[in-house]
Chains A and B, each alone.
Chain A
Amino acid sequence: MPVDTDTENIISEIKEIAEDINRPVKIMEVCGTHTQTIAKYGIKTLLPENIQLVSGPGCPVCVTPQRTIDSAVRLAQNGIPIATYGDMLKVPGTEMSLEVAKENGSKVFIVESTIDALKLKTEYPNLVFLAIGFETTTPMTAWAVKNGLDIICAHKTIPEAMNVIVSNQDNQIDGFLNPGHVSAIIGTRPYRDINAPQVIAGFEPEDVLKSILMLLKQINTDRKEVENNYTKIVNDDGNKKARALTSSIFETCDSEWRGIGIIKDSGLKLKKQYQNHDAMEKYRELLKDLPEPKDNKGCRCADVIMGVIEPKKCPLFSKVCTPDNPTGPCMVGTESACKIAYKYRGDDNA
């Protein structure tokens, strides 16, 4: 059986160009699913020493602020059933996670989709869906709100976060692997104002390697373009129907990203005519006097998702902080950098 020669060729071309560039290059994979591919297939071990890959903010679990989790916990403790995607349960809030609330008797449900959440609502009419995720996941929430689901809205948008990262002096990112499925919805245009080389990448190891090569070619020739290396899914316009659905229900707002702070225009809130589905408004009284969010002591999640450090550089990594007992949110989600690094820690790849 022939060894994948295409891949070998890409790797040797990467080596040549990296040598030509002749300085350290830092590439950020914005999306947690790319982080998984990179760790699972040992892509870092294939790259020349001067090419570094760092994770980015594209892990919805990691960037959801404590206050949002605390709100969901508070509602659950007051008898309001909460449904959310599985990864959210373990994320530490200020006092507890939703998982602990569930263990203590609150009604907390894991759902695979907003379709399932709506089904649950027939049984639990006051059910609230904790809605997280980026542009790929927002249309599903919009559809469910249209069909009567109440939500805590923690949806965020990716390009605005990338802009903040580009302007951050501490990390100096040379180029981005842009998220494939977010791009399927938003297309290529929203990235054009971001002042950095970018390649929209698919999720197979070859796609990632090829996209790294395309980025290095841009860097080597001083180009800052948005290239699309996931054309079987992504086109320039994205999915207009999905965006129309989202914007019929939501409007842009400033949004807090855990560890990063407020990013202008990076979040979504319900439009006026749908505010009766906003659980934060509906249960305003219950949500008074939430615990003051406090940093998880020593957790460097913020630096991890900003590409400043790799998970292993966090002093708590695998010593204090593990997937069974996570100190911070980056150790929780399937797309969270610290959890992925933990899973593949023996391979020296992550």
Chain B
Amino acid sequence: MIVITSLYFLIHKKPTFNNLLIEYKIMCLAIPGKVIKIDDDNATIDYNGITKQAKITIISPKIGDYVLVHAGFAIEILKKDRKDDTI
């Protein structure tokens, strides 16, 4: 049982980015991306090559920071520079 599940972990561990984008439509999910441009309280976030806008009204990231984005807003800066770390 453990081996089977461990294999499952290995196969399914990291959701593909497309899946993430689909799930992005779901309100409570938060996904990590890299801040590549800041323009007032708007940031351009790079999610592995796909860019999207997010508001940075409630955090103050720098360019290059990884942030967690929820419902169009960056809600927190990831402490480690590990973009694929968490959703």
Residue contact B2 to A184, C-beta cutoff 8 Å = no
Asked if B16 CB lies within 8 Å of chain A CBs, one says: no
Partner of A334, one of B13, B26, B58, B86: B26
Set of chain B residues within 8 Å of A87, measured between Cβ atoms: 26-27
Contact of B70 among A137, A202, A234 (CB under 8 A): A137
B10 touches A4 (CB 8 A): yes
Could you tell me the distance between the alpha carbons of A303 and B10 in the complex, rounded to whole angstroms?
35
Question: Are A205's CB and B72's CB within 8 A?
Answer: no
Q: Does A335 contact B (CB under 8 A)?
A: yes
Give the B interface residue count (CB, 8 A).
38
| The one of A42, A185, A234 that contacts B5, using a Cβ cutoff of 8 Å | A42
Q: A-facing mask of B63-82, CB < 8 A → 1, else 0?
A: 00000101111011011101
- With A136-B70, A203-B87, A232-B78 known as contacts, the answer to whether A112 contacts B25 (CB < 8 A) is yes
Measured CB to CB, the residues of B under 8 A from A are: 1-3, 5-10, 12-13, 23-30, 55, 57-60, 68, 70-73, 75-76, 78-80, 82, 85-87
* 30 sampled A-B residue pairs with Cβ under 8 A: A1-B10, A3-B7, A4-B9, A7-B9, A11-B2, A41-B12, A42-B5, A60-B28, A85-B27, A87-B27, A112-B24, A112-B72, A113-B71, A114-B72, A115-B72, A139-B57, A139-B58, A140-B55, A181-B30, A184-B75, A185-B75, A203-B86, A204-B13, A207-B86, A232-B79, A233-B86, A234-B76, A242-B58, A334-B26, A334-B28
Q: Which 5 A-B pairs have the closest CB atoms?
A: A113-B72, A242-B58, A85-B27, A232-B79, A3-B6
